[in-house]
């Protein structure tokens, strides 16, 4: 009743989405309570909005919390030594299959990281848990592969929507980041999940957005050039932040420290940074609203920007669990403040629009780091209700996201996969390609000839038209090249035939497939070699020929699989 009915899946998404909204608010309040206890705050206050915190707490809580996190992580790895799959990876490689137990484990570690003041956000935990809940429900109803991927996207989107009280931003988070595409069939369940989660969240707390901005914005057209420059600056800061996190991780590994000790070292470093300002701690939620209402001078705000970038990079590089969603928003807001204050030294008139530049910087940096441009645009729109500032944000987001894509090539979400050697550039479903391998597609009737076979004998043995390609082998049977049969019978080389052997006609030496090469790798190798046919061999070190593939057949199989999947997505075929 659910598997074969789209309407039932939409209703299911709305029902489960409301539960995700409830869980998200519960996790948020749990983190606030733990931070209040650990740092001596009034419950309900955000750690990142504090201007003064007891120095002993700043020195001890992140360090002790990091040690606790490391030991818990070590214990969990011994109990369950598996990699935790996140929603993007699940959708890209595993058809939306996501373990609830592993999702709960990651969410718990994210709570610990945030509770001890790491400069990360809870968004990774929220989206992981939401996606895990939806994935489990989808698995229970035996949903088709594409419907299961939709459920994962809806779960992550519902969690983000509830966390930021922004249903459109949450929905586009699911479209852009978790699913990496938008379809009309995807629209309804994701939006239903986001709306229900936000309604539940609003019922449990006030319906105030992430930040409150009073009054409308009158943005002069001449400012759009400045917004473009701010977009370039946001791209640079985003790339630096991602690179720094990798550098910190590499440095800690080079120090030969055990994995469980790295969060404690990172906690010490973050705690010392917080002596300058405790606002580098935590996600940045409270600090965003604080700085929209409070104007700091250029030098302090610039130092806080540097501190927040370092704090986030150190936290992530030291293996604290969490995301950069809200942290990137705070970094962007600080960047916008620094930018407009610097421009104000030349033209003080721009300072009257300081808030506009802060909002544009927030959206631009978020798009640069997270890689979800429309999510950031809608977040600003839903938080301000102002169309003028939304258009201005669109300019900054466009420049920042495009610059990062063309120069760096990754968002933080996909950069992590790149470092692990995974070919994941988003939630596009590439998992099915891993099953369509050279070993499965190859033909096994490859015709081989030895290197030393004279051309005259080859012509007699393999008449023109009997085969298109021959594969040359060494005395040990190893692959040594491809011979085009029509080229071997070319009349122009007849006079030289008594002096030629198979080796003289061999081409594409060193070009071959391995049995485990997936269809994308196969097509890429064909394009690189500009060959029509290549062999499949046992290994690179011992290239015994197992079979062969033609480019035409590989393209045909790829197209057939795409068409079959399209029919499955539309419900026209069996899963």
Whose CA is closest to 39, among 118, 115, 123? Answer: 115
Helix and strand counts by DSSP (H, E) for the chain = 23, 5
- Are 135 and 148 in contact, with CB atoms under 8 Å apart? yes
- Are 264 and 67 in contact, with CB atoms under 8 Å apart? yes
Rounded to whole angstroms, the maximal C-alpha distance in the chain is 95
Q: List all residues 6 or more positions away from 385 whose beta carbon is below 8 Å from its beta carbon.
A: none
Q: Which residues of the chain have pLDDT under 50?
A: 574-575
User: What confidence score (pLDDT) does residue 419 get?
Assistant: 73
How is 500-516 classified by DSSP, letter by letter? -BHHHH-BSTT--B-TT
| Helix, strand, coil abundance in the chain, percent, nearest 5 | 65, 5, 25
User: What confidence score (pLDDT) does residue 574 get?
Assistant: 45
User: What confidence score (pLDDT) does residue 572 get?
Assistant: 52
Helical ranges in 80-122 per DSSP H: 87-93, 100-115
- Are 120 and 114 in contact, with CB atoms under 8 Å apart? yes
What is the distance of C-alpha 478 from the center of its chain? 41
Domains in the chain with CATH codes = 6-207 (1.10.3080.10), 223-419 (1.10.3080.10), 432-569 (3.10.580.10)
Instruction: Scan for tokens 């750690």, then name that residue.
Output: 47
Instruction: Please state whether beta strands 545-550 and 448-450 pair in parallel, antiparallel, or not at all (unpaired).
Output: unpaired
In whole angstroms, what is the distance from residue 369 CA to residue 411 CA? 5
User: What confidence score (pLDDT) does residue 575 get?
Assistant: 39
Q: List all residues 6 or more positions away from 205 whose beta carbon is below 8 Å from its beta carbon.
A: 25
Q: How many of the other CB atoms lie within 10 Å of CB of 370?
A: 26
Whose CA is closest to 157, among 14, 313, 366? Answer: 14
In whole angstroms, what is the distance from residue 561 CA to residue 567 CA? 10
Q: How many of the other CB atoms lie within 10 Å of CB of 247?
A: 13
Report how far apart, in Å, the C-alpha atoms of 303 and of each of 45, 134, 168, 308, 365 are: 23, 42, 34, 9, 17
In whole angstroms, what is the distance from residue 359 CA to residue 390 CA? 9
Instruction: Scan for tokens 């701690």, then name that residue.
Output: 281
- Are 210 and 383 in contact, with CB atoms under 8 Å apart? yes
What are 425-451's pLDDT values in tens digits?
Answer: 666 666 666 678 899 899 999 999 999
Is pTM beyond 0.75? Reply is: yes
What is the distance of C-alpha 382 from the center of its chain? 24
Alpha-carbon torsion, ordered 534, 539, 542, 548, to 10 deg = -20
In whole angstroms, what is the distance from residue 457 CA to residue 442 CA? 28
- Are 223 and 164 in contact, with CB atoms under 8 Å apart? no
In whole angstroms, what is the distance from residue 308 CA to residue 330 CA? 8
- Are 162 and 201 in contact, with CB atoms under 8 Å apart? yes
Instruction: Scan for tokens 């400012």, then name that residue.
Output: 223
In whole angstroms, what is the distance from residue 152 CA to residue 136 CA? 9
Q: How many of the other CB atoms lie within 10 Å of CB of 421?
A: 6
Tokens, residue 184: 């009309």
Q: How many of the other CB atoms lie within 10 Å of CB of 102?
A: 18
Instruction: Please state whether beta strands 448-450 and 469-473 pair in parallel, antiparallel, or not at all (unpaired).
Output: parallel
Helical ranges in 165-297 per DSSP H: 167-173, 184-204, 223-254, 262-273, 285-293
In whole angstroms, what is the distance from residue 532 CA to residue 485 CA? 13
Tokens, residue 80: 């369950």
How is 518-553 classified by DSSP, letter by letter? BHHHHHHHHHHHT-SEEEEES-SSS-BEEEEEEHHH
User: What confidence score (pLDDT) does residue 215 get?
Assistant: 60
Please report which helix (H) or strand (E) contains residue 490, including its range. Answer: none
Write the DSSP symbol of residue 494. Answer: G
**Cα angle, residue 359 at apex, residues 358 and 361 outer, rounded to 5°:** 65
Write the DSSP symbol of residue 44. Answer: T
């Amino acid at each position: 009743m659910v598997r074969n009915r789209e309407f039932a899946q939409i209703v299911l998404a709305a029902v489960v989405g409301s539960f995700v909204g409830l869980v998200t608010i519960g996790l948020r309040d749990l983190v606030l309570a733990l931070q209040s206890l650990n740092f001596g705050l009034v419950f309900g206050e955000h750690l990142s909005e504090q201007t003064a915190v007891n120095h002993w707490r700043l020195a001890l809580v992140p360090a002790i919390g990091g040690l606790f996190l490391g030991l818990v992580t070590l214990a969990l790895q011994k109990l369950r030594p598996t990699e935790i799959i996140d929603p993007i990876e699940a959708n890209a490689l595993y058809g939306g299959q996501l373990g609830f137990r592993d999702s709960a484990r990651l969410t718990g570690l994210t709570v610990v990281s945030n509770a001890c003041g790491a400069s990360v956000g809870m968004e990774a935990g929220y989206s992981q848990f939401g996606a895990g809940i939806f994935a489990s429900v989808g698995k229970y109803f035996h949903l088709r592969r594409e419907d299961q991927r939709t459920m994962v996207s809806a779960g992550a989107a519902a969690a983000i929507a509830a966390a930021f009280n922004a249903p459109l931003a949450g929905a586009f988070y699911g479209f852009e980041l978790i699913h990496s595409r938008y379809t009309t069939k995807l629209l309804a369940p994701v939006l239903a999940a986001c709306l229900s989660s936000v309604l539940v969240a609003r019922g449990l707390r006030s319906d105030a957005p992430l930040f409150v901005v009073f009054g409308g914005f009158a943005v002069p057209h001449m400012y759009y050039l400045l917004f473009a420059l701010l977009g370039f600056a946001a791209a640079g800061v985003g790339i630096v932040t991602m690179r720094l996190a990798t550098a910190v991780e590499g440095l800690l590994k080079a120090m030969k420290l055990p994995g469980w000790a790295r969060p404690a070292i990172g906690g010490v470093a973050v705690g010392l940074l917080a002596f300058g300002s405790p606002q580098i701690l935590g996600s940045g939620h409270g600090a965003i609203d604080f700085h929209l209402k409070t104007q700091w001078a250029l030098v302090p705000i610039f130092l806080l920007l540097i501190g927040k970038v370092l704090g986030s990079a150190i936290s992530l590089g030291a293996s604290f669990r969490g995301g950069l969603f809200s942290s990137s928003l705070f970094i962007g807001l600080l960047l916008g403040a620094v930018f407009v204050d610097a421009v104000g030294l030349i033209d003080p008139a721009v300072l009257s629009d300081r808030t506009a530049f802060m909002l544009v910087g927030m959206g631009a940096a978020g798009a640069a780091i997270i890689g979800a441009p429309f999510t950031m645009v809608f977040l600003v729109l839903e938080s301000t209700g102002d169309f003028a500032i939304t258009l201005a944000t669109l300019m900054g987001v466009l420049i920042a996201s495009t610059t990062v894509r063309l120069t760096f090539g990754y968002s933080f979400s996909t950069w992590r996969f790149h470092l692990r050697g995974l070919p994941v550039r988003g939630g596009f479903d590439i998992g099915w390609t891993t099953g369509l391998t050279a070993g499965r597609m190859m033909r096994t009737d490859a015709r081989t000839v030895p290197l030393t076979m004279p051309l005259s004998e080859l012509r007699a043995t393999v008449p023109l038209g009997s085969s298109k390609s021959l594969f040359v082998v060494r005395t040990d049977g190893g692959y040594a090249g491809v011979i085009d049969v029509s080229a071997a019978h070319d009349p122009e080389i007849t006079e030289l035939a008594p002096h030629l052997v198979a080796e003289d006609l061999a081409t594409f030496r060193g070009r071959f497939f391995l049995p485990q090469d997936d269809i994308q790798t196969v097509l890429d190798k064909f394009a690189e070699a500009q060959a029509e046919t290549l062999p499949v061999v046992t290994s690179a070190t011992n290239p015994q020929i197992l079979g062969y593939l033609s480019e035409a057949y590989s393209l045909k199989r790829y197209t057939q699989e795409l068409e079959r999947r399209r029919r499955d997505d539309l419900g026209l075929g069996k899963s």
